Structure 1
Amino acid sequence: MANSEQEKSISTKTLEIVSSMQKNEITECHIYRKIAKRVKDEHNRTILLRIADEEERHSKIWQRYTGKEEKPNAFKVWWFSLISLICGFTFALKLMENGEGNAQDIYTEICDEIPAAKQICEDEQRHENELIELLDEERLKYVGSMVLGLNDALVELTGTLAGLTLALQNTSLIALSGLITGISATLSMASSEFLSAKSDGRSDAFKSCIYTGIAYVITVALLVLPYLLFPSTHYLWALVTMLVIVVLIISGFTFYISVAKGLSFKKRFLEMAGISLSVAVLSFVIGLLVKQFLGIDI
């Protein structure tokens, strides 16, 4: 009877909020279960299913107040399942949880009418975050290798292409030189990572070098691409486009790392962007000086 009287005292606005939370909980339940179906590791699958069960339980708690059953948001289930397929389930789930940053404010707003709401919120956040931290995704083990390949490719290729832009002033020649340099550097960096991991006694040396090489070669391809697309005389446009791509790569990868590893986005972005763009400017000036004082003209 007490529970019935409490439900009757809930305002229309609070009821709408509770209904929204109920729908969100059941949606996330379906997301966790869908992702769990694709996960081969038994440890990770068990944790994902535990979180799914928690979400379902939370949805049923709110259903006591709404008195109706909510269906999951099909688009949201599809979207985060797709993200997990492309970027990994750890990134997808942390991104989803980060998107609920204002949940605490919502719970506080309704706690006057539903006193248990605040405690439910705290329990949910603590429990789910603890479970997510237990996830062990393979690709995150090699983030260091990817960062190594990405950083080295950005600094080396950005500088090389910027320097060649003024020295050669021909997009075809710049692209050719950039590809040769990039492919050679990819093989060099990957083999160095393999030997380094091997000397440390790591059994995953080959995987580590593969992740480093993949990050490097993708970066090379993206940075050289503008020089392949622009006409031979539009080398400055190619340079500007290349620098824009550098910033976009740094932004995208830094965002991925900051979400998946819980790190500061701003600090890492400014650090990587500052180094890459500074090297590009310095190399551009060196290319200009070489052309001016050595009298080399191609």
Structure 2
Amino acid sequence: MDLNTKEALRQQQNEINDYALYRALAQREKDPDKRAVYEKIASQERKHYEFWKAITKRSLEPNRTLILFYIFLSRLLGTSFALKLLERREKSAEALYRSLFDTYPEAREIYAEEMTHEKELIDMLNDKKLLYAGAIVLGMNDALVELTGTLSGIAFAFDKSVVVGITGAIMGIAASLSMAGSSYLEAKESPVEGISPTVYAAYTGFSYIFTTLLLVLPFFLISSIGVALAVMFAAALFSIVLYNFYISVAKEQSFYRRTAQMLLITFGVALISFAIGYAVHHYLGIQI
């Protein structure tokens, strides 16, 4: 099997996978306008599959595991994220179709349809999970900055790792309630269509609490304060990378720029707090 045949089969598989996914989304969608768009794109993807089938002379079945994965992503992180992640793959497909213009005239029509998919989806989707992304980043970012700084600063003030964890958890939960209240007032005073102040506050508070638990957990599991701190920083790094990947896909923003900014702020504050805590411990000898 030569390279061209492999490439054709790969694209044919992608098209039947996309067809099955959009059909599944259409069946689950209650909004008639959104359902119509899903069905339209599914129909086009089926036609694209038939185009490749005529070339390869092979029949392929959708990858059910992949379909379920994207359905899971849409439920967990929002349809905007799942479909934009899927549409990223279409960039290579568009280049492939352009290369076929002279050999297969039908490729021009398919290329035009592929180019319209993303615009139709962006115009159609009003994903609530994406609307509340600001609340999530507010809670998560504040927790990362405040808790990594706080835990780094007090680490030298205590001789037991679990005490650091308990202190951080208490401070984090208290701060999450304060942050949720502030978010509610902010959303109430500056209303945005489609955003409920109560839900906005809940997203902020839960995001803050979840990040707090992630950061303090190492101190409950690891007796060495130094090792627990290292694991905490690793967890913070993982959270920053994961969140910014989500935002970069869902909102089509620069992943590297956003990640660099959050890393600089989070670890910069933590480093300063760590230095203050070390100085207090070393020069004043304070330890509990």
TM-score of the alignment, normalized to the shorter chain, above 0.5: yes
**Which whole-Å deviations, capped at 9, do the CAs of 1:255-294 have from their partners, x for residues lacking one?**
0000011110000000001100011110001111122333
* Matched residue, 1:6: none
**Contact 1:174–1:227 at 8 Å: present in 2 too?**
yes
**Which whole-Å deviations, capped at 9, do the CAs of 1:65-124 have from their partners, x for residues lacking one?**
34444321222212222222222221111111213432234334444432442x245313
| Residues 45-60 of structure 1 mapped to structure 2, 5 A cutoff | 45-60=35-50
| Residues 131-280 of structure 1 mapped to structure 2, 5 A cutoff | 131-133=120-122, 134-201=124-191, 204-231=196-223, 234-280=224-270
Bigger CA radius of gyration = 1
**Contact 2:20–2:42 at 8 Å: present in 1 too?**
yes
2:68 to 78, 83, 103: 78
Local SS of the residue matching 2:287: coil
Aligned residues: 285
**Which whole-Å deviations, capped at 9, do the CAs of 1:121-151 have from their partners, x for residues lacking one?**
5313321011110211111111111111111
Query: 2-side partners of 1:13 and 1:201: how far apart?
Result: 55
Most deviating of 31-40 and 165-174:
31-40
Query: 2-side partners of 1:142 and 1:85: how far apart?
Result: 15
**Contact 1:30–1:72 at 8 Å: present in 2 too?**
yes
Query: 1-side partners of 2:33 and 2:166: how far apart?
Result: 47
Local SS of the residue matching 1:101: helix
**Cα distance, 1:16 vs structure 2:** 4.6
Query: 2-side partners of 1:46 and 1:83: how far apart?
Result: 21
Query: 2-side partners of 1:295 and 1:280: how far apart?
Result: 21
**Contact 2:97–2:111 at 8 Å: present in 1 too?**
no
| Residues 62-141 of structure 1 mapped to structure 2, 5 A cutoff | 62-117=52-107, 119-133=108-122, 134-141=124-131
Most deviating of 139-148 and 287-296:
287-296
List alignment gaps of at least 5 residues for structure 2.
none
**Contact 1:63–1:69 at 8 Å: present in 2 too?**
yes
**Cα distance, 1:14 vs structure 2:** 4.2
**Contact 1:51–1:131 at 8 Å: present in 2 too?**
no
Query: 2-side partners of 1:43 and 1:113: how far apart?
Result: 36
**Which whole-Å deviations, capped at 9, do the CAs of 1:21-74 have from their partners, x for residues lacking one?**
232212111111213333344443332222212211222333343444432122
Query: 1-side partners of 2:10 and 2:191: how far apart?
Result: 52
Most deviating of 240-249 and 108-117:
108-117
User: TM-score normalized by structure 1?
Assistant: 0.88
Local SS of the residue matching 1:70: coil
Counterpart of 1:258, as a letter, is S
Counterpart of 1:131, as a letter, is E
**Contact 2:177–2:205 at 8 Å: present in 1 too?**
yes
Q: Residues 120 and 14 from structure 1, CA distance in 2 versus in 1: closer, same or farther, beyond 3 angstroms?
A: farther
Local SS of the residue matching 2:91: coil
| Residues 14-25 of structure 1 mapped to structure 2, 5 A cutoff | 14-25=4-15
User: TM-score normalized by structure 2?
Assistant: 0.91
Q: Residues 144 and 109 from structure 1, CA distance in 2 versus in 1: closer, same or farther, beyond 3 angstroms?
A: same
Q: Percent identity?
A: 37
Query: 1-side partners of 2:282 and 2:2: how far apart?
Result: 75
Local SS of the residue matching 1:102: helix
Q: Residues 256 and 113 from structure 1, CA distance in 2 versus in 1: closer, same or farther, beyond 3 angstroms?
A: same
Most deviating of 188-197 and 42-51:
42-51
